[in-house]
Structure 1
Amino acid sequence: METKMTDKKVTAAIVTYNRLALLKESLAAVLNQTDYLSHVIVVNNKSDDGTKEYLATISDPRVLVYNSPENLGGAGGFNQAVRLFMEQLDDDYVWLMDDDTMVEPDALKYLVDFMDEHQHVGFVNSVVRWGARNGNPSWMNVPAPRVFTWQTALNYDNPGIEVVNSTFVSVMFSRAMVNKVGLPQKEYFIWGDDMEFTNRIADVDRGYTVVKSVAVHKSKENSMPGDIIREKDDSRLWRYRYEFRNRVLTARRISKREMRLVAWGALRYELPRVLLKRNIKFRWQKAGMIINGVFKGLAFNPEIEYVNGKPKEPIRSINALLRAYQLANPDERMTLDRELEIIDTYQLDDLRGKTAKADQFIADYKKDYQNK
């Protein structure tokens, strides 16, 4: 089937810090896209390796440069990039990536085509390989599929796998979606902001990995995300101070139950292994980071920023919708097919008046939204 071109326009956004050689390669790959690219925002996180001077030489009118007066971290950089996209440009979609992301020439084309041809798509991302196009998957950029239901979109010529989150290594979403869910959480500083943000989107609409869209991640190592047990690089150790704190808030944004499971899991699984396994480097530092991070995370809850003001009514949440439906129909045996039908056809207010528990849940949900 021949793909039908649309008139959609896309802003790419790259956040960079002291990786000039990689930035040059990444920017060249983005500017070499075959379709849809309109602008490129480069957020320079106060690099001191000549990045600012190099960016000043770029004459391509599509490139907009923001030289931050301070290092905002990856999270702050992406927050700033999306804000600039919303406030200074009028393109339809924003496409985020790190400075060590090398996108294939048609990566953007497949993302936009999939978004345009399918309904209920909140974000799309690329398949991410490590080091080279034919390399292994980049393990830190493998998104979580929606359990069991991910195959529902594999019937098209341009297939996608449904996922519930994504890293900021070639992920795209719309201007309208930012108005719904707000900006990435800049207070994370580093690690986890991408998962929390795309979790937010996937609770409103579905996310997909578009299998024909490919990006190469030229990270230093092909490591697992947040693997403090096997971490041996002392230059990366400081990041785990943020990892565990941020992980707890990401879980809280899903549910209080999920937050308790994540916090307890870190203390019950990772902490004992750091303390008791043989040949663990930086053992006591790591143990302190896990404990401090988890307990800081329990109190860490910065507000979500909205460029055009927070919506007056809560945006439909898939998690809240399914919970309210269960309370409204406590005797119904739920199946995955039924869950998909509920997501496609129900709104939260459709479940009012069924049971007192459902009514109370809906009222509490809306009250909590207004108080945040």
Structure 2
Amino acid sequence: MALNVSVATLTYGERKTFLYQVVDRLLSQNFSDIYVYCNGLTLANLTEIKERYKNDRVIILFSETNLGSAGGYYELLDYVTKYNTSDYVLLLDDDNLVPQNCYKIISDLNIKDNELYSFHRSDRARAKQVKDLEQPEAIIGGANSFLGRDFFSIFQTGKHIYQGDLAAAPYGGLLLNRKSLDAGVLPKKELYLYADDYEYTYRLVTMFGFDIIFSDAVSIEDLEKSYHLKTGTRLLSNRYSHASTMQLYYSVRNNTWLGLKRNKSKSIFLLNLSICTTLFSLQFLFSRKFTNIKLFFKAIKDGYVLYKKKED
């Protein structure tokens, strides 16, 4: 019997060129339903997408306002859980182009009930490195790390034991099974953008007992390079050197919140935060990105406020 696999993706802004390549490739294979969540698109773009995809297999969902990745994937996953009965749902970013034989490869996998798969993406080497190192938590950094950096890892206090390859994974390339969907776990809307995917999958692993298996059996091509993978002068650049103000703010705010939530030693976490903040501030200063310094500190402060709010 053929495996029932659906696909769900989220798009926003002026990204039709990417989206069309992705959906057209999916339609050429035996995927059941293909969900496209249009996150705050203009009416003109929404109409164009609906006109292009009148196929019954393509279900177009729409939000008038951009809910961010957290809100968008929340609504998308909530809808799919309620109205789709597939055995598996493959999450893709709107620029994740799957190979021509993607469905067949997934159908041939021997997937256990508690396993979620994170497939290899062309511009994301880190996941494969983490698997090879056999250090699942390294994908998001140690429990006391800040932005994945831990200058005091030698003083680690306590370790999680993970059966899978990764402690967390991005939405793009994530294969969810029916059991994980029915668990009722959804992204946190208030995170809006960045780190929401890692927080969501980390919760599936640590609170619900799922294992994330990294697999390069499916190799996904990223049609657009992520901002934090763009390089510059090594001494003066960091992961936010090419980020927009929104990307910098939400990434730092949410990672501050996640670090406060995950840490096993608050003092070591705060030391990592202080060192990393000093280094980043100096890089911003010498590269004349003065506004980034103020925004970086504001994001940290707001991350702490978000943490206290959730704690209360």
Question: For this structure pair, what is the TM-score category when the shorter chain's length is used for normalisation?
Answer: 0.7 to 0.9
5+ residue gaps, structure 1:
1-5, 131-137, 151-160, 305-370
Q: CA RMSD in A?
A: 3.3
**CA 1:118/1:179 → structure 2, altered by over 3 Å: closer, same or farther?**
closer
Q: 1:188 matched to which residue of 2? A: 191
Partners in 1 of 2:34 and 2:67 — Cα distance? 19
Count of residue pairs the alignment pairs up: 277
Give runs of aligned pairs for residues 88-167 of structure 1, distance below 5 A. 88-114=83-109, 116-118=110-112, 120-121=114-115, 123-130=116-123, 138-139=124-125, 144-145=130-131, 148=134, 162-167=165-170
Q: 1:286 matched to which residue of 2? A: 292
2:215 maps to a residue whose letter is: V
Question: Does residue 1:76 correspond to 2:75, yes or no?
Answer: no
2:85 maps to a residue whose letter is: D
Question: Does residue 1:206 correspond to 2:211, yes or no?
Answer: yes
Q: 1:219 matched to which residue of 2? A: 224
Deviation at 1:127, TM superposition (A): 0.9
Q: 2:41 matched to which residue of 1? A: 47
1:9 maps to a residue whose letter is: N
Q: 2:247 matched to which residue of 1? A: 239
Deviation at 1:208, TM superposition (A): 1.0
Partners in 2 of 1:303 and 1:9 — Cα distance? 41
- Max radius of gyration: which structure? 1
**CA 1:275/1:245 → structure 2, altered by over 3 Å: closer, same or farther?**
closer
Instruction: Give the match's secondary structure for 1:285.
Output: helix
Deviation at 1:62, TM superposition (A): 0.8
Deviation at 1:29, TM superposition (A): 1.7
Q: Is the 8 A contact 2:263 2:269 kept in 1?
A: no
Deviation at 1:248, TM superposition (A): 2.6
Q: 2:182 matched to which residue of 1? A: 179
Instruction: Give the match's secondary structure for 1:208.
Output: strand
5+ residue gaps, structure 2:
137-163
More RCO (CA 8 Å, sep 6+) = 2
Give percent identity, aligned residues only. Answer: 17
Q: 2:150 matched to which residue of 1? A: none
Question: Does residue 1:8 correspond to 2:8, yes or no?
Answer: no
Q: 2:17 matched to which residue of 1? A: 21
Instruction: Give the match's secondary structure for 1:243.
Output: helix
Deviation at 1:108, TM superposition (A): 3.8
**CA 1:60/1:281 → structure 2, altered by over 3 Å: closer, same or farther?**
farther
Residues 274-306 of structure 1 deviation map (CA, whole Å, 9 limit, x = unaligned): 3324874453322223222222222325999xx
TM-score by length of 2: 0.76
Partners in 2 of 1:258 and 1:13 — Cα distance? 38
TM-score by length of 1: 0.65
2:274 maps to a residue whose letter is: L
